[in-house]
Homo-oligomer: A and B are copies of this chain.
Amino acid sequence: MSKPSEAPATSPGDVSGEEPGEGIALARLLAMGFRLAITGLHERLAERGWDDVRPPYGFVLLALRTGPSTVTDVAALMGMTKQAASQLVDAMAQSGYLVRTVDESDRRQRALSLSAKGRTLLGAVEEIYAEIEAEWADMAGGDDLRTTRDALTRIVLTANDGALPAVRPTW
């Protein structure tokens, strides 16, 4: 029986096969960065006792920070079918992070809001993201990390006709 493997602390490039001069594929850098950000978040959430939080939850909680949303919005945010978004929202509601209500102005819609517990979790997510980003600023240099943020923002908006693309990794 084997557990999921993680590259051990050895020389860079040991398992990449990529020419050192040519550099690592950008897609791979983004993949590794994303993986580290999400596993870091969830390890730290677990340390604080939040041990039933799946990777999509952080994105949904952030989306609800400023006001209610709907299953259709969550589907668009994540890049999944409305059925899958409904299942995701069900799971989050069942864990007590979200509340569903009926939208009086459009009774097809069920409005989704953060519960008190959801707000507390959102606070933890934001704190941990800020911690991780501060550490990454130390590693990369604060100016370079800001440049990275700004460059990625321009890229994702331009490549997606001015709108933010969906979040769910293509895999």
Contacts and interface: CB of A to CB of B under 8 A. Distances in A.
Interface residues of A, number: 97
Contact of A5 (B25, B66, B72, B160): B72
Contacts of A17: 62-67, 69
Contact of A6 (B63, B158, B166): B166
Given A27-B41, A34-B27, A38-B169, A9 B162 contact: yes
Interface string A129-143: 100110110011100
A129 B26 contact: yes
A105 interface: no
A83 B4 CA distance: 9
Contacts of A167: 28, 31-32, 35
A76 B69 CA distance: 39
Interface centre among A29, A55, A73, A153 (most CB of B within 10 A): A29
Given A2-B81, A145-B151, A147-B147, A19 B76 contact: no
A125 B39 CA distance: 28
Interface of A: 2-19, 23-42, 55-56, 58-59, 62-67, 69, 72-73, 75-85, 129, 132-133, 135-136, 139-141, 144-145, 147-171
16 contacts: A4-B75, A5-B75, A5-B79, A5-B82, A6-B165, A8-B163, A9-B163, A14-B163, A16-B63, A25-B59, A30-B33, A36-B160, A36-B165, A38-B171, A56-B171, A148-B148
